[in-house]
Structures are given as C-alpha cells and as structure tokens.
Amino acid sequence: MVRTTPPRPLDVLATIPGLVDFARTTTRLHPRRGTPSATDSSIGGPLLWPADEPWPICTAPYRDQRHLPVDEAFATTYLDARKARLRRETLTPEQEAVLDDPRVNDGNVSVRCTNGEWELRWHESTGHTTPNALIPIAQLYAADAPTITFPTGRDLLQILWCPLDHTNIPGQRYYAGPPVHLFWRTAADIGAVLADPPGPHAFDDRFYLPTACVLHPEQVLEYQYCDLLPDGLREQVREADEDWEDEYDLRYQYDLSIAPGCKAGGWASWHLTDPWGQTCSTCDADFDLLVGFDSSEWDGIVSWKPVEDDADDRDAQCPTGLTHGRWGEMRIFVCSADVTHPFQLNIQ
C-alpha cells in the first residue's frame, strides 16, 4: 500500500528562497508490519544471503545489564549514602560500609524497586562466551532507495548488527549501541540463498530485535538542519520561525525541514547534541546520511503522518519495535566520496 507524506503546511522557500541551495531528497521507507521475502526491501525481513557465504558473527565485548536482588535496608542506605556523598556530607559507618560493598560496582549502579522487590542494576562490559550471530536489520534494493549512492555495479545493501549495546567499537566515537555491519552486493550475482540463517544466543529484545516490516518507499524534500546553514540564512530561519510559531504553531526543525521516521539519504537532525562535523578517516571527505532507524515514524509531529495512516494506530507509528537511546534514532553515516570507506554511527 502506498504511503503519502502530506505537503508541508507552508512553503518555506516563499519566505526564504535561499534554502533552495540546501534542499535534499530523502526516501522515507515507511515500514509497516508484514511478511517480506528475501527478494524484497525490508526492515527485519529475510536477506538475499548467499548460501555459500558464512553468516557473520560478533565476538566484541558488549555491555551486559546485571540485576542483583537486595533487601530494602541495603537499598535505602545505599541511596542515602550516594546523596550524602553528592552533598559532601559526612557518611555514617553504615553508609561507608554499603559504598565499600563490592556489589555496588564502584557506585555505577542504579537502585530500583518493582512491586516491593529491590534490586541493583548496572552495566558491565563482558565478552561473548561463544560468537553471537548477527541479525538482519534492513535490506535495501537500489530501486527502492534512489537517494543513496551505491558502489559501482552494486544494487543491494544489507545491514546487520549484534543486538546488544557495545562500547569502544573501533572507529566509533561517543557511541554506545549495536555494532553495525554493511554488505554491498549485486543481486543478480547471488545464486542459492541461505534458507535458515542462525540466530543470536544473546540479545536485548526490548531495543534491538526488529519486527519484520515491508517498506513503502516515498521520496520527500528536506532542508538542512538550521544550525548547519550559513550564518545569514540561519538568522533568516530563526526570525521566520518566530512568525511561523505564532501564526501557525509550526517550527522549522520539527514540521518543515527534516522528516522523522526510518529513511535513506537526506539530511540528519542534531536536536540532541551539537552538530557532528567529523570527516572520513580515509580521504577527509564529508559524511552523508546513509540510513536512519527511528523509534517512531512521526512521534508527536503529526504533520509528517502519512495521509493513509490513523494517528492513533500504534503499529503504524512504531512498526519496527526498535528503540535507540531515549526513544531516538540510530543513524549510519558514510563517506560522501566512497561509501565503502569506514562509516560512522550516531544516536540522536
């Protein structure tokens, strides 16, 4: 079924013609739950994976969440001790004893009470006891994603990851999430297809296991993130934003510039952190957005809701079951000169 993004509620070029030089087209993937095949573009669907090629695995250290039941006295003393330390107050002997307890992992823990049961929770770096099979996240055929550049002679992109939080991934700065692997292929060269790929033995099903979704690709025009525009144009946007918000209850960042949801190509939003300006480590070229996996297709920004969808349809709004960070978006950036150069990951 077709998914259609409504026209933007107002024409930003009529007010700021200079934005025409900072327009870029993205492909909103519009994933919706279904049963894709290996010959379809999909999120969380089967891959056109060669039967004679080993399935990729992960052996890198990952962040494992630990849970340790404790009694209420220990938990409340620990919380009081942490507060006292923050306030630079003198600790009681009981508080000092709790903070010295090896169970609190040097203080990098949280304390939770669920249905009257207290426990300590923390993340601990650990290794896979046996290699962990990667899982399919997305498969994109070039015909369905014309807004990204494929290597010469390739027409199929496959994205897999290990479904656990990892840190200190080589080449990735300030990133804590699943390690991503990209495979660029020529579909016509794939003969027999692997029918039963292995599954992971360790995973976080709350965040990183996608629900199988068919895609309904649609090309949509976007405009560059405001803080990355030239100074004069940025000031024009900020001045116009005041009028747009007062008169129409619309904002450039949310309603008029960058589409939410899972998408391929286009512009990236930097609403959580300052814009990230790192360049390719191989050739010093700028990075472009390859794919973004968003936790929601339109979240509270209903102006981006496809006309065919119901605003109250939770399966349409959050079809993939993926959650990144605090209900954010995981983005893959590739070198603008050569997409096969090392890529970068970021969560907003």
What pLDDT was estimated at residue 125?
Answer: 66
pLDDT tens sequence across 196-207: 999 999 888 889
The backbone torsions φ and ψ at residue 244, rounded to the nearest 5 degrees and listed phi first, read -65, -40
Do the beta carbons of residue 58 and residue 179 sit within 8 Å? yes
DSSP 8-state code for residue 130? S
Determine the Cα–Cα distance for residues 197 and 187; give it in Å rounded to an integer.
Answer: 18
Determine the Cα–Cα distance for residues 67 and 120; give it in Å rounded to an integer.
Answer: 6
What pLDDT was estimated at residue 122?
Answer: 67
pTM of the model: 0.84
Q: Please list, in sequence order, all residues whose beta carbon lies within 8 angstroms of the beta carbon of residue 273, skipping any fewer than 6 positions away.
A: 348
Do the beta carbons of residue 24 and residue 222 sit within 8 Å? yes
* Residues present in the chain in total: 348
What pLDDT was estimated at residue 173?
Answer: 74
Rg (CA), the chain: 23
What pLDDT was estimated at residue 277?
Answer: 74
Do the beta carbons of residue 165 and residue 61 sit within 8 Å? no
Residue 3, CA distances (Å) to 36, 95, 110, 216, 313 in order: 17, 58, 43, 6, 14
Task: Using the structure block, give the residue that is written with the tokens 């472009």.
Answer: 288
What pLDDT was estimated at residue 171?
Answer: 80
> Could you read off the pLDDT tens digit of each residue along the chain, which spans 348 residues?
899 999 999 999 999 999 999 999 999 999 999 999 999 999 999 999 999 999 999 988 787 666 788 899 999 998 898 888 878 889 999 999 988 887 776 556 778 888 888 988 766 667 787 899 999 999 999 999 999 999 999 999 999 999 998 877 888 877 888 999 999 999 999 999 999 999 999 888 889 999 999 999 999 999 999 999 999 999 999 999 999 999 999 999 999 999 999 999 999 999 888 887 779 999 999 999 999 999 999 988 899 999 999 989 999 999 999 998 888 999 999 999 999 999 999 999
What pLDDT was estimated at residue 64?
Answer: 66
What pLDDT was estimated at residue 65?
Answer: 64
What pLDDT was estimated at residue 123?
Answer: 61
DSSP 8-state code for residue 92? P
DSSP 8-state code for residue 91? P
Q: What angle do the packed helices 72-86 and 93-100 form, to 10 degrees?
A: 100
Distance of CA 37 to the CA centre of its chain: 24
Q: Please list the helix, strand and coil fractions of the chain in percent, rounded to the nearest 5, in that order.
A: 25, 25, 50
